Amino acid sequence: MRVVWLDFHDHNPDWLPDDPWDCEFWVTIDVGDETGSASFQIRVCTHTALARLTDKKHCFLIDEYLGPKSLIERLNRFIVEKTQSVTTDPYRELARIWWWEYGKYNERGHLIG
């Protein structure tokens, strides 16, 4: 599984923040492979930006934002880390962390919203 598509909610793909160490933004990613994928909405945040947020749900923490290529590489490492030992649906594992197109699931695999 890997990121097969990424779209910024409020920025062009070539956007770079004024301060790569202090930014937050939303993206939609499709995670999957050649056989299919599922969409997730993620709030990408640096450590500095996270300190200012009151709602920290669905955050994906990064040190700095250097562009979409480095973000996708970091997301792919995270996806492997979270799903490599999962024996059930790996998408549900990611849905515990990110906003999934099919809803939010808790640690027991129950749909909660």
User: For the chain, what percentages of helix, strand and coil (3-state, to nearest 5) are there?
Assistant: 25, 35, 40
Question: What tens-digit pLDDT sequence spans the chain (113 residues)?
Answer: 999 999 999 998 899 999 999 999 999 999 998 888 989 999 999 999 999 988 887 789 999 999 999 999 999 999 999 999 988 888 888 888 887 766 655 555 555 55
Close Cβ partners of 101 (under 8 Å, ≥ 6 residues apart): 38, 39, 40
Work out the number of other CB atoms within 10 angstroms of the CB of residue 111: 12
How far is residue 37 CA from its own chain's centroid?
14
* Res 66: pLDDT: 95
pLDDT for 57 equals: 78
